[in-house]
Structures are given as C-alpha cells and as structure tokens.
Amino acid sequence: MKTVILCGGLGTRIRDVADDIPKPMIQVGGMPIIWHLMQYYASFGHREFILCMGYKGEVIRDFFHSAMSSASSKTLVDAQTEHIQFSATDKFSNWSVTLADTGQTAMTGSRIFKIRKLLNNETFMLTYGDGLSDIDISGLLKFHSEKNRTVTVTGVRPPARFGELQIGDDGLATGFNEKPQASAGMISGGFFVCQQEVFEHMNGHDDLVFEQEPMKSLVANKQLSVYQHNGFWQCMDTYRDWQLLNSMIDQDKAPWKIW
C-alpha cells in the first residue's frame, strides 16, 4: 500500500529554525523529520511513498538523489514526477519513492488530487511530513477495513502548550504538570487511510484545503471514521516542538524510533 506524504507547505511558523529548506527536511537527531516518518512506516512493512512536494522541493529531491547507490534505479514518470527504487543494499532498503512536484502555491487538497493517477485506483495512506507518532499502523489499517468508510483519520490528544495547574478550594496549587496531554476533545493527527472514493469529494483547484470542504463533505455523508490514538503524537510547528523532538532523540526516549 502506498503512503502519500504532504511536504510542500511553506512552514512559516518554524522559520526561526530554518528558512532555506522545506519543513520536512529540518533535522531531528541528525536526519530530516520526513526520514523518521518514512522509517516508521517502513518498520510496519510499508515502503512505497509518494511525496507531494512544493516549496523548495529541490532540497527533498537532492536528499534522495544523494542517497542513491549504483544499484538504485530512477525513472521519469512525467515532467513533474520521478520515481526512485532503492535496492536492498541501499540506506533506504527497498524503498520506492515517487517525487511529485505538486506546485508552489497548492493547498493540501489540491496536492492530493494532483497525484491521484499515481495511486492505481488503490487504497492509500496519507499523512503530513512534519509530525511523528507511535501509532499502530497495522491497527489503523485493520480499523479502517472494519469500519468500511471512505476515509479514516487518526484522532489524537495533543500535548498542551502550557503547564497545567491543579488548584484547591483554598487557592493553593495541588499539582503542576509541565506537558500534560489534553484531556478534552481530539484533533486530527493525520495518519489517514483513504479509499479512491475520496476523490469524489475533491477537485484540482489550487486553493482546495483537504481539511475543510472535503472533510466536511465526508462527515456529512457519514464517510469519515476516527481511529482514536491515546499514545504519543507530536507535530513540529514551532522552535519549541523541534527542541522537544531533538531532546527525545538525545535522551534515547523517542517513542517513534522502533527500528
């Protein structure tokens, strides 16, 4: 099953870490965050990737080109797309990576719609190139199959941005938790599974945001199921997020690092 990764956005909120490379190429523990994400999927046996590139996509392309060995193969799919097949002896053992230029200004829905022909009418996974988790990918796929809906999204409880205070009736603090998990409500954590019917809710307009009209349409038609994940999930939106992910690597406490 192919995994589509959105990695074409501008990443404006994390420019204080790097402003000359796309966000998925910002390093965590010495390697781009997208590499960690792809390694995680590969650890579950999913090694076919389609990268929807945009802003500074050449940096992503150069990264994979530099990793190619003489045993790797590269083919041009069309003017905007190329495919790299890494051999079993490569750094990215047996990975199949399709690099698709989906435009500099396209929004998420448009990027997904533009690569639909690369999916061969098959079920596919979809996620963002700037978040890590210890989600059970096999469990997610099983849940999606059981629910038999067009799309499954992973619901997560994100860590709170600020310290949480517990306060007694006398006004004194009874507890403090620096990075609590949000206790109310879930948000979309990415890690989608999609049937081809998802494209019936989409179009190729550059301003199409997947998380807006397509998702609302899926909900209205009762075609969106939610796989609830209560474990680790962390996006990399800010300098603080980047520091946190690197500290987890430094302390050998990275929940996503299971390979």
pTM for the full predicted model? 0.90
- CB burial of 39-51 (b: ≥16 within 10 Å; e: otherwise) equals bbbbebebbbbbb
pLDDT on residue 134 = 97
Backbone angles phi, psi at 248, to 5 degrees: -65, -40
Closest CA to 126 of 230, 207, 198: 198
What are the tens digits of pLDDT across the range 148-207?
A: 999 999 999 877 665 666 667 876 566 666 655 655 578 999 999 999 999 999 998 999
The pLDDT value given to residue 11? 62
Q: 198: exposed, middle or buried (C-beta count within 10 Å: 0-12, 13-18, 19+)?
A: buried
Helix (H) or strand (E) holding 74: strand 73-78
Helix boundaries (H) for 128-232: 137-147, 213-220
| pLDDT 10s digits, 101-158 | 999 999 999 999 999 999 999 999 999 999 999 999 999 999 999 999 999 999 998 7
Residue 92 confidence (pLDDT): 86
Of 150, 124, 164, 110, the closest CA to residue 41 belongs to: 124
Q: For the chain, give the mean pLDDT.
A: 90
The mean per-residue pLDDT over the stretch 41-64 comes to 96
The C-alpha atoms of residue 52 and residue 49 are separated, in whole angstroms, by 10
**Tens-digit pLDDT profile for residues 209-256:** 999 999 999 999 999 999 999 999 999 988 889 999 999 999 999 999
d(CA 104, CA 177): 41
66 or 176, which is more confident: 66
For the chain, list the domains and their CATH numbers.
Answer: 2-250 (3.90.550.10)
